[in-house]
Structure 1
Amino acid sequence: MALTGDIRAGIIDVHAHWLPRELLALPPGNPYGGMNDRDGELFLGDTPLSFATAAMTDIDTVAADTVKAGLGTRVVSAPPFAFPVHAPSDADDYVAAYNEQLSRAVAGTDGTLVGLGLVRLDDVTAARREMTRLARAEGIAGVAVPPLAQGRSYADGTMREVLGVAAELGLAVLVHPMQLPRPEWDHHYLVNLIGNPVETTTAVASVLLGGVLEELPDLRICFVHGGGCAPSLVGRWDHGWRTRDDVRRGSSRPPSESFTRLYFDTVTQDPAALLLLSAHAAPDRILCGSDYPFDMAQPDPAGFPQDHGIDAATLEVNGRLFLGLTPART
């Protein structure tokens, strides 16, 4: 079990973001021009992010907002712009600095906040070294990773091996999209509105059809935004798995069977989408999420799932299981 100590009682939000001011420049090679504060508002390059800088950078603000939202604990990770994927071999210092500051920051919140660290996905040796440190760090439960890197996902290669290290060390994995640009998505914020769920869906398919959970049965992996489009496609994937040799080549189980072993958060912005997710996912694998503090965040992360059939006790127990903590409390 990587996470030591205990957390505050109550619903656990597994999907929120934090980045210290000292690291707003983002990792080497990032194409965004870094993040910056302008009169208290945070910008990505010259693009306003529509929330206060403190909500991303000030750990006391994040902790206070957690309590205001009616949550017991919030799990924070870096915003996806900070993933070390553009020049990973030059990002070791940035990754180590983030993870060290994250552990120190969350450790001072009396269990209100838990951290998910950064890790490289291009080098298993470097990943193992950093993840071993994370497994020993106070207040850290796992890592946050992108769905895709260098045009690949988790079915094979180094990225699959990184998941193996996470399972071996007992670290939870949160998969968060990066808003990868495409020409047809250069307007109406489609890079987020379509791009984010499509990236996530690609990673879900990669894990299911690649047989990752068959190899790594102890892996705790969560896909945010309700799994993207995956709940509406898993039946189609099952059909392809039954009828095509190339679809079932990497797995011995139909996708719908392995789907019940994945974790998903509740950030769907649509009750019908949450109900569809609940129809396909296992009841003990649905986690509260918020996407705090971004403008696409679920504004009432604790109330939304409860209003649509998922009670507070279940959300707390499920969150504890994902973090690697014992499920029962007195």
Structure 2
Amino acid sequence: MTTGPVDIHAHWLPEDLFPLPPGSPLPPLHGREGQMFLGELPLYIETEAMTDPRRVIADTDAAGLGTRVLSAPPFAFPVADDPGVDDYVGRFNDALAAACRDSGDRLLGLGLVSLHDVDSARAQMNQIAASGVIRGIAVPPLLGSTSFDVAPMRDLLTIASELDLAVLVHPMQLPRPEWSSYYLVNLIGNPVETTTAAASLVLGGVLEALPDLRICMLHGGGCAPALVGRWEHGWKQRADVRSAETQSPREGFAALWFDTLTHDAAALELLRAQSDPTHLMCGSDYPFDMGLPQPLELPHAAGIDDATLERNARKFLGL
């Protein structure tokens, strides 16, 4: 791993995996005239920025970063319980490991796992742990109507903790009819998905059961930093909020990790106030249009220096 700031939140997917995992509810990806499409929906992403490690490294240099940590875009998460998922996951993880090994220490990875099959996921995470260059896994915040406080997602976190693997939680932009316009499915939906997952961790007893778990909530934790006080009040007042016999929500929230991609300096200041400052890391959401080409500008504006960002990311990645 090259010295310098680390971007913990960047996406990559080889073109041969554009058909997406078996059983995916989404249409396949494809490239057209150098641009990516999800079915017929334009993504406003240059195809090579998602697929070509050489382009990724060039953009990493342009952003003033030392290392980028690549994970699959969320539409490549294997959310369907399909027998072909294991093969897709294996192909992605093998390709990711090869891209990282060939990068001259500029790229690291976070792999996929079979979300519905804990036995398969354990075997995949054992391979990830042995790779050296894939430092953990990337997972969605929700699987159907459940999150990390119940099986199977809770089981995946248990295995990751046992194997000392980092966990990155990326929302999937799940559709709801009231979010059908103005890109609200992303602008509201993504932060709400992440917030739901954070609540399941903080209130569901997961952090108490897995004290060594390193799990990162992206986009600055979504809405969660603004709700910690509300969770704390509910925890004090209501037995159902305390039903998992957890520590206080403020203490639980401080155990989570976050990227700095809040899109707003005031929101980042709130995140800093509610979180452990040693758990904040640079994130860009490269190469999506909601990402930042210069992801260091926001943490710099909040007074977070490059050495701190690098040190935190190295700790998160188990380096």
Report the TM-score, using the length of structure 2 for normalisation. Answer: 0.98
Q: Which moved more, 1:23-32 or 1:234-243?
A: 23-32
User: 1:33-61: per-residue Cα shift (whole Å, max 9, x none)?
Assistant: 11100010011111111121000001111
Q: CA deviation at 1:269?
A: 0.5
State the match for 1:160 in structure 2: 154
**Structure 1 position 197 matched with structure 2 position 191:** yes
Indicate if the aligned counterparts of 2:81 and 2:116 stay in contact, CA closer than 8 A: no
3-state secondary structure, aligned to 2:295: coil
3-state secondary structure, aligned to 1:299: coil
**Structure 1 position 55 matched with structure 2 position 49:** yes
State the match for 1:289 in structure 2: 283
State the match for 1:85 in structure 2: 79
Q: CA deviation at 1:88?
A: 4.1
User: 1:3-29: per-residue Cα shift (whole Å, max 9, x none)?
Assistant: xxxx11111110000000110110011
Matched positions, count:
319
Indicate if the aligned counterparts of 1:69 and 1:301 stay in contact, CA closer than 8 A: yes
State the match for 1:273 in structure 2: 267
Q: Which moved more, 1:158-167 or 1:294-303?
A: 294-303
Indicate if the aligned counterparts of 1:104 and 1:138 stay in contact, CA closer than 8 A: no
Aligned partners of 2:82, 2:316: CA distance in 1, in Å? 27
Aligned partners of 2:119, 2:2: CA distance in 1, in Å? 35
**Identical positions, percent:** 58
3-state secondary structure, aligned to 1:247: coil
Aligned partners of 2:8, 2:118: CA distance in 1, in Å? 25
Q: CA deviation at 1:156?
A: 1.7
Q: Which moved more, 1:251-260 or 1:93-102?
A: 251-260
Q: CA deviation at 1:32?
A: 2.1
Uncovered stretches (5+) of structure 2, i.e. residues with no partner: none
Q: CA deviation at 1:65?
A: 0.8
Q: Of 319, 322, 325, which aligns to 2:313?
A: 319
**Structure 1 position 69 matched with structure 2 position 63:** yes
Report the TM-score, using the length of structure 1 for normalisation. Answer: 0.95
**Structure 1 position 244 matched with structure 2 position 209:** no
**Structure 1 position 19 matched with structure 2 position 45:** no
Aligned partners of 2:109, 2:46: CA distance in 1, in Å? 21
**Structure 1 position 97 matched with structure 2 position 99:** no
Letter in 2 for 1:72: G
> Where do residues 170-209 of structure 1 align in structure 2 (5 Å cutoff)?
170-209=164-203
Letter in 1 for 2:289: D
What is the aligned-residue RMSD (CA, Å)? 0.9
Aligned partners of 2:293, 2:41: CA distance in 1, in Å? 22
Aligned partners of 1:241, 1:124: CA distance in 2, in Å? 31
Indicate if the aligned counterparts of 1:124 and 1:158 stay in contact, CA closer than 8 A: yes
Indicate if the aligned counterparts of 2:12 and 2:70 stay in contact, CA closer than 8 A: yes
Aligned partners of 2:313, 2:224: CA distance in 1, in Å? 21
Letter in 2 for 1:235: G
Q: Of 253, 258, 274, which aligns to 1:264?
A: 258
Indicate if the aligned counterparts of 2:264 and 2:298 stay in contact, CA closer than 8 A: no
Indicate if the aligned counterparts of 2:166 and 2:316 stay in contact, CA closer than 8 A: yes
User: 1:266-315: per-residue Cα shift (whole Å, max 9, x none)?
Assistant: 11111110000000011100010000000000231122201211111100
Indicate if the aligned counterparts of 1:107 and 1:138 stay in contact, CA closer than 8 A: no
**Structure 1 position 124 matched with structure 2 position 108:** no
Aligned partners of 2:83, 2:178: CA distance in 1, in Å? 31
Runs of 4+, deviation exceeding 6 Å: none
> Where do residues 216-235 of structure 1 align in structure 2 (5 Å cutoff)?
216-235=210-229
Q: Of 89, 106, 111, which aligns to 1:112?
A: 106
